[in-house]
Amino acid sequence: MALEKHVTRMSFEELGKATDDFHCMNIIGTGKLGTMYKAILQNGWFLAVKKLHNSYDFDQEFMSELMTVGRMRHCNFVPLIDFCYEINSRLLVYKYMSNGNLHDLLFSAQNGKVKCIEWPVRVKIAVGIARGLAWLHQVGVVHSSICSRCILLDHGCEPKISNFGSAKLLKSNFTSSSWRTVVDNEVWESGSFKKDVYEFGVVLLELIAEKEFSQMNGYLKSFEGLDMVEWTFQNSKPCDSDEIRQVSENEILEFVRVAVDCIQSNPARRPSMLEVYKTLSKITGRSELGND
């Protein structure tokens, strides 16, 4: 397989041993495309192994992820290290991310309490996701399934976009050293890229308010930006309400405005991810698009 130039191949037997035969105690996440397991190799290295669900588009999802993550490297994509392609088994092997996924960090309770995330960490996560998606769109790839569950976090809470099983390569001319693309207006106006923008806006609102989007829908129908900032203060967790008030209200308001632009019902009125990234970078002073 040509992709072995980019990632190596492991056997089902090796990965079975590393995950204790895919034991339920090693499950670290589940999604519509597959189940993720924590794996420990004999040399002590930790890995994350995604076992794809056996479905009618089994091979399509597998190849989609290989063709995107396997060929591309970016500081905000989860690194794909190995894969396994055997009868009735499609496994993808990633670098292990010690802080899990963003959804669990924001919303999962431990010992009856949900962990508070300091505002600067939320800013770092938001800018990192925007940077990764902006770069992805520049090379002509649509993710198609952005949500807080597919954002993994390393030991320093740098976000890593994962779950590329639904990704689409719309237009690119790929070389072994780089991806380059010119996205034409017809492709852009098709809304494919704008779906990613909408989904980023949802994640951004969840980061701002530390509330799931489903809990905000009724409120968002009639809110104004300033009201949303006050709502954020009133509804943030007790341990971080004082801390967040020390942050410039203008910064929070600007983040809210970006999020609202992203979730507009008319796709044509949504900004591009590059515009989103540049705006957030201007607000926060972070400005490297990068690909490594």
pLDDT for 78 beyond 60: yes
User: Which CATH fold would you assign to the domain 102-284?
Assistant: Transferase(Phosphotransferase); domain 1 (1.10.510)
The pLDDT tens digits of the residues spanning 24-42 come to 999 987 777 788 899 998 8
Region 264-278: mean pLDDT is 92
pLDDT for 150 beyond 60: yes
Region 251-265: mean pLDDT is 87
More confident residue, 241 or 53: 53
Report how far residue 98's alpha carbon sits from residue 219's, in angstroms, rounded to the nearest whole number.
34
Q: Which of 70-74, 240-244, 280-284 has the lowest mean pLDDT?
A: 240-244
Report the pLDDT value the prediction gives residue 160, as an integer from 0 to 100.
95
Domain boundaries, the chain: 2-95, 102-284
Report the pLDDT value the prediction gives residue 183, as an integer from 0 to 100.
45
pLDDT for 7 beyond 90: no
Report the pLDDT value the prediction gives residue 227, as an integer from 0 to 100.
59
Contact by Cβ (8 Å): 1, 60:
no
User: In whole angstroms, how large is the CA radius of gyration of the chain?
Assistant: 19
pLDDT for 189 beyond 70: no
**164 pLDDT tier (thresholds 50, 70, 90):** confident
Q: What's 101's DSSP letter?
A: B
Report the pLDDT value the prediction gives residue 62, as an integer from 0 to 100.
77
Region 53-65: mean pLDDT is 69
Dig out the tokens for 171 from the structure. 């237009």
pLDDT for 194 beyond 80: yes
30 phi and psi angles, rounded to 5 deg:
-130, 150
Contact by Cβ (8 Å): 93, 15:
yes
More confident residue, 158 or 165: 158
pLDDT for 64 beyond 60: yes
**214 pLDDT tier (thresholds 50, 70, 90):** confident
Region 112-116: mean pLDDT is 65
CATH number of 2-95: 3.30.200.20
Region 163-175: mean pLDDT is 67
Region 162-183: mean pLDDT is 58
DSSP string, 228-279: HHHHHHHHS-HHHHHHHHTS-HHHHHHHHHHHHHHT-SSGGGSPPHHHHHHH
Report the pLDDT value the prediction gives residue 248, as an integer from 0 to 100.
64
